[in-house]
Structure 1
Amino acid sequence: MNSKSIFRKIFAAFFALLVFQQVWTDEISGKASENVRTFLVRAVVAPGSEWKEKFPPQFALWIQDSDGNFSQTIFATKKASKKKWIFAPKDGRPEALPVWYHSCKNFYASESENEMDAVTSATPKGGFEIARKIQLEEGKKYFAYAEVNKSFDYNEFYPKDAEKNAAEYSGVNGQPSAVYRAEVSFENPEAKLELVGTGSLDGKSGSVEDKTETLTTAKNLVEKIIVSIEFLEDEK
């Protein structure tokens, strides 16, 4: 067998493999898209005693799947999403809402400018409701997350006079962000989010830290957050 025949057989086998891979990928994608449905996500946020009208906190609400993959932002305060802080360092304030920032990959990479404008607004001064249509995979478990934070809310665990290199040093952040979570699904379409931890103090990590015992007034920024999902049968 000459080299040309060998080359042709290798090329034919390689081409067949590419075709099979494409067909298999399209089939898997088709099955996934068949399960994607449009849902209406509603949220009711009741501010707590520390949600001050003259100095409201920053807030974000978003959906992740059970594997930790970011789905979509439902709401975010404009200052936090635009990163327009007064007298902030060059890198902004990553410690403001670190779990959300890391989850949505800096927000801008996850949604278009129009979508971003649709889910952001100035921090509400009182109780508020949110409703947004999003695409979710039917039968899959999701988690609703909320993160809230107010600057300068120091306490005995995060004192204002802490040394810069000390573990409790928080700059102007004071107490770290409070993170709330609840599972939402077809079987559990409405849930109250519960406090599950805090964001990192310096914003370098997107993990939820189990340090709720160090929060004091930050626990009173919100009274309750209720999230529900509704399947829209006429949309897909």
Structure 2
Amino acid sequence: MFKSRMKLMALVMILVVLISGIIRAQSEGRISVEVKPGERYKDVTWYWLGIFPIKSNPQMAIWLEDEQGNYIDTIYVTESSGKSKWSGGKDIRRPDALPIWSHKRGIKYNDGLYMPTKDKPLVDAITGATPKKGFTRKWIIPADIKLKQLVIRLEVNQSIDYNETYKKKLSKNNFNYNDTSGQPSLLWEGEIEIKDGFTTVLKKVGHGHPSGKNGKLFRNLETITTANEIIESIEIKYLK
């Protein structure tokens, strides 16, 4: 019995190696994304005279576009955004969480919003819980993507991150009105060349619409304060 199990395990390992080799042979390499958290990556807001803490982790999406701005694919998105798993109730929708990414995907759902719904969630392969600390995500480039230059973007947003511009309980007619995000999502961006040894770092280039009304990028970062400290740096590598 023991020998049979050992043979079975050996066979499984051989199959894993063979399948991995086939996948790599049919791909154009891998993209590695390393995210280093900032001081406000994990945030705590105190309510009721500082008695009750509410801890929040950032929402995040990483995706690729071509040089003309056409959406190619999503590398990773946090589970709450990708599967509409929000705390506080089953019918909660958060268009303000990741508006640039969601509009760029261009999939409009029955309620008129672009964020995925519970009944039409994104697949497990690209979704996951927000990492509790810095993380590295690797993505295999499909063989049908022949471009040698790609644009990689990361959008990040922290809930209840208010400041003097993005306050609580603003009028819905106010451009800075938001539901629960406070400060809007931030967009990091950079270009990656598909060549061995290529490395670059992403830069903050703007923010999303405060209430998620559209997918526009707003370049003004002067009103952003603590949200600047969610992420410290993002390094991108091409791996053959």
Smaller-chain TM-score bracket = 0.7 to 0.9
Q: What are the equivalent positions in structure 2 for 1:137-156 lying under 5 Å apart?
A: 137-156=145-164
Kindly state the Cα deviation for residue 139 of structure 1 after the two structures are TM-superposed. 4.8
**Structure 2: unaligned runs, 5 residues or longer:** 1-25, 44-54, 108-114
Work out whether 1:97 is the aligned partner of 2:98: yes
- Out of 165, 170, 174, the residue aligned to residue 173 of structure 2 is 165
The amino acid of 2:127's aligned partner reads: T
Which residue matches 1:212? 221
Residue aligned with 1:147, SS:
strand
Which residue matches 2:71? 70
Kindly state the Cα deviation for residue 70 of structure 1 after the two structures are TM-superposed. 1.2
Which residue matches 2:205? 196
* Aligned-pair Cα RMSD in Å: 2.6
Does the 8 A contact of 2:207 with 2:218 survive in 1?
A: yes
Work out whether 1:123 is the aligned partner of 2:130: yes
Kindly state the Cα deviation for residue 39 of structure 1 after the two structures are TM-superposed. 2.4
**Structure 1: unaligned runs, 5 residues or longer:** 1-35, 232-236
Does the 8 A contact of 2:171 with 2:177 survive in 1?
A: yes
Change (3 A) 1:159 1:48: same
The amino acid of 1:159's aligned partner reads: K
CA distance in 2 between counterparts of 1:203 and 1:169 reads 10
Work out whether 1:186 is the aligned partner of 2:187: no
* Larger relative helix fraction: 1
Does the 8 A contact of 2:175 with 2:210 survive in 1?
A: no
Kindly state the Cα deviation for residue 90 of structure 1 after the two structures are TM-superposed. 5.1
Kindly state the Cα deviation for residue 167 of structure 1 after the two structures are TM-superposed. 2.2
The amino acid of 2:189's aligned partner reads: R
Residue aligned with 2:100, SS:
helix
CA distance in 1 between counterparts of 2:165 and 2:72 reads 34
Kindly state the Cα deviation for residue 230 of structure 1 after the two structures are TM-superposed. 2.5
Residue aligned with 1:142, SS:
strand
Which residue matches 2:237? 228
The amino acid of 1:190's aligned partner reads: T
The amino acid of 1:95's aligned partner reads: D
Q: Deviations over 1:28-48 (max 9, x none)?
A: xxxxxxxx9522011111010
Which residue matches 2:81? 80
Q: Deviations over 1:126-182 (max 9, x none)?
A: 011111202264453211100000111110111114223222221212000000000
Q: Deviations over 1:1-50 (max 9, x none)?
A: xxxxxxxxxxxxxxxxxxxxxxxxxxxxxxxxxxx952201111101000
TM normalised by structure 2 equals 0.72
Q: Deviations over 1:98-152 (max 9, x none)?
A: 11111123476xxx97x82112110011011111202264453211100000111
Kindly state the Cα deviation for residue 189 of structure 1 after the two structures are TM-superposed. 2.5
Does the 8 A contact of 2:27 with 2:140 survive in 1?
A: no
Larger Rg: 1
Kindly state the Cα deviation for residue 190 of structure 1 after the two structures are TM-superposed. 1.6
CA distance in 2 between counterparts of 1:172 and 1:139 reads 39
Does the 8 A contact of 1:72 with 1:134 survive in 2?
A: no
